[in-house]
Each structure stands twice: as structure tokens, then as C-alpha cells.
Structure 1
Amino acid sequence: MSKFGATHSLRRLPVQERSAARVRRMLDAAADLIEEVGYDRLSTTAIAQRADVAIGSVYQFFGDKRSLAEALSQRYIDLYFERLAARFDAEPPADWRGGVEAAIDEYVQMYRTAPGFRVLHLADAIDPGRADAVTTGGDVIADQILAGLAQRFGIGGDDELNKTVTVAVETGQALVRLAFRRDPEGCSASIAEAADVVCDYLGRRL
């Protein structure tokens, strides 16, 4: 994946480092503002001001605030899997259940540390241009997890497993959101329940 997030969200890719730095500042600014005021009150003008770039620079790379949010969502998905891979390399899980528990814990850490992550929560469409097959953040995460199950645990993929993992991902996301609605730092009992529910569901189908 691009270090700028979903490349389809960009009108054009930055070529020079100066332009790349501006795009990174825009995404950083969008993340901070989403955390502070929410998505509905986000504006491209506010992003330009926070990033210290001209408003024309925003529209040079992004069509609107939605495309910025899509790119930020993909950036966070990339970061999530980078962190999860580093965790697995440092302490490989003994089985898929350990992998699921680590995946949920890392997702919780993103909620706690990544600005705007809990507002985006990666559930919305990140490819709205495809009217025939809209892709959500959950779909992208499910695809990566399917690849990980095959690579690390030898669990082969088919259409049924794809559906199963997608349901597990969406369920886990919803339960983590509930945990953070109950407690801004994440209700520990609800987080533990999220891992139990997802593991029980997958255990009946893997």
C-alpha cells in the first residue's frame, strides 16, 4: 500500500518530496481535526489551515474531505497491519486464537493512540467510486487476515471462510466501538468479551 493511504483517493500522487511532505501534513491535520471536532464539522479549509498549506494544495491532491478521510482510513489500516506484523515477529502466536487476541488488542491500541481512529473506525466505504462493489475498511482488514491465516497457520481460504472472517471482523469492530462508548479508555470487560465472542464464532467454523 502507498504510504499516503488509498491511492485511489488521491487525484494524483506526489512526485517530489516537498509535495509528499505536504500530503502527509494534510493527512496528519485531518486526523487531528477529526479527533477534535468530528468528521461532520471537518472542512478542507480547516485542514489547509492546520497543515499550513494553501487550499489549492488540498484540492490538488484530494477532491473533498471524504477522499481525505478515505486516504486516512487506508493509512491507518496499513499502520495497523505493520504494528501487528511486528508484534507477531517479536512474539509469534501459538495458534490462530492467540493471533485473534493479539489482533484485537492491537486494534484497541490504535483506538487509544491514533488521532481520529475511533471516529473513523474504518467501517465506512473507502472505495465509493465503485457503485457495483463498495469496499469497506472491514473488507480490507478481512482480506489481510485471510492471507495471514493461510501464511501463518495453514488455514486455506474459500468463499465460505471469506464470509466467516468478514463477519468476525465486523463483529470485533462493533464490540470494540461499544467498549469505547462505555469508557473513553476502553471498557476492559467489553474488550475481553470481544475477543471471546470472535474466537468462539471462528472456533465453530475454522
Structure 2
Amino acid sequence: MLDACAELVDEIGYESLTTTLLAERAGVAIGSVYQFFPDKRAIVQALTLRNLEGYLQRISSRFADTQFTHWWDVVDAAIDEYISMHRAVPGFRTLHFGDVVDVHLLDEERDNNTIIAEQLAGLLVDHFGAASGPRLDFALGIAVEAGDALIKLAFRRDPDGDPAVLAEAKALIREYLYRHVNTISR
């Protein structure tokens, strides 16, 4: 059902998505949809959680397979995976991490990008040795918001992501974080 949901949101958008269309696309009875999901928001939330888990898994795998020399290589890898998901994962370009539906889709207390920033902070602390704390969280929060907005712009300008905008997004984030991460790394 989640795969069918991803295909449909790419084709018709979130607003046009219905549980009936989802059931038809998934080849299941409408009762089966309601057995697992009370409404389309819950379906999209489950898809968003799957996307988040997939993103974090991709980053973790990349971190495990690669020896990074500098912290900015870690940031570039995180951005590259986000861009890759925009290009390759059905539904991701439309839903991202659920902000199209609700900025608090992943957690009622924290907005979706804050959760992403917290996960990235954990990865930087665990895999690079950055000092955890409010300064790192704040800097990564700003970087995630800026990166998210610029990557969305790149994909609005070009279905494959405008290369010039994507390059500028990476440069902007790297330069911004350079001022902060260097002062809070161990």
C-alpha cells in the first residue's frame, strides 16, 4: 500500500489522493486500507517514516563504507543522499519528509526538519566527533532548512535537479557550517 501511495502522490499529488484510489492501485479492498490506516494522512505519515528511515539507513551505510577526511565530506554525503532520494525514490520528491502534509507529521512536538537535523547531529557526533549540544543543533537546524529550500528550488527548476542550484546549495551549507562546526568539533 505504501508503494501504491508513493506512486499516486507523484502522479496526482497529495490533495487528490484518496483511500479509494489507493486501494484500487494497491489491488486491495478498501477495508484492507482502513484496517491499517484510518485516513490518507496516516498513510502518508507511514510513507514519510519509511522515507526517513531509508534516508538514515542510506547515510549510515555510506558512513560505514567510507572514511571521511573532513566533516564537510559528511555533510556533502548527507546532501547527496537527499538529492538521490529526490531522483530515485517514488513519492519522495512530492512528500519529502512530510512537510507538504504537515510540518509536524513525524512528531507532534518537533517539526520534521528538526528531526532530520537531530538525526544528522547524532551522525556527526557518532561518526565525526562533533561536540553535541545546542550550538550544533542550532547550526544543523539552519543548514537543514536552507538545504531543503534550495533543493526544492533545484527540482522545481529542473526535474532532475538544476545542477547549478544544487552546487550552490552545497557551497552555501558548507560555508555556513564551516563557521559553526569548526568551533564545536572536539
TM more than 0.5:
yes
Correspondences of 1:92-111 after superposition (within 5 Å): 92-111=67-86
Moved over 3 A (4+): none
2:146 match: 171
How many angstroms apart in 1 are the aligned matches of 2:43 and 2:72?
35
Secondary structure at the aligned position of 2:22 is classed as helix
Kindly state the Cα deviation for residue 96 of structure 1 after the two structures are TM-superposed: 1.1
Kindly state the Cα deviation for residue 203 of structure 1 after the two structures are TM-superposed: 0.9
CA RMSD of aligned residues (A): 1.3
Correspondences of 1:116-155 after superposition (within 5 Å): 116-122=91-97, 123=99, 124-127=103-106, 130=108, 133=109, 135-155=110-130
Give the alignment's TM-score, normalised by structure 2.
0.90
1:59 match: 34
Tell me, yes or no, if the aligned pair for 2:49 and 2:106 is still in contact at 8 Å. Answer: no
Tell me, yes or no, if the aligned pair for 2:2 and 2:47 is still in contact at 8 Å. Answer: yes
Kindly state the Cα deviation for residue 125 of structure 1 after the two structures are TM-superposed: 2.2
2:163 match: 188
Secondary structure at the aligned position of 1:198 is classed as helix
Tell me, yes or no, if the aligned pair for 1:77 and 1:137 is still in contact at 8 Å. Answer: no
Match of 1:189, as an amino acid?
A: A
Q: 1:121 to 1:127 in 2, by over 3 A?
A: closer
Kindly state the Cα deviation for residue 89 of structure 1 after the two structures are TM-superposed: 2.0
2:18 match: 43
Extract unaligned runs of 5+ from structure 1. Answer: 1-25
Kindly state the Cα deviation for residue 54 of structure 1 after the two structures are TM-superposed: 1.3
Match of 2:105, as an amino acid?
A: I
Kindly state the Cα deviation for residue 127 of structure 1 after the two structures are TM-superposed: 4.1
Taking only the aligned residue pairs, the percentage that are identical comes to 45
Kindly state the Cα deviation for residue 74 of structure 1 after the two structures are TM-superposed: 1.1
Tell me, yes or no, if the aligned pair for 1:172 and 1:198 is still in contact at 8 Å. Answer: yes
Secondary structure at the aligned position of 1:204 is classed as helix
Match of 1:92, as an amino acid?
A: Q
How many angstroms apart in 1 are the aligned matches of 2:119 and 2:59?
11
1:14 match: none
2:133 match: 158
Secondary structure at the aligned position of 2:176 is classed as helix
How many angstroms apart in 2 are the aligned matches of 1:72 and 1:201?
31
Match of 2:104, as an amino acid?
A: A
1:68 match: 43
Match of 2:69, as an amino acid?
A: A
Secondary structure at the aligned position of 2:67 is classed as coil
1:8 match: none
2:184 match: none
How many angstroms apart in 2 are the aligned matches of 1:151 and 1:92?
13
Extract unaligned runs of 5+ from structure 2. Answer: 182-186
Secondary structure at the aligned position of 1:110 is classed as helix
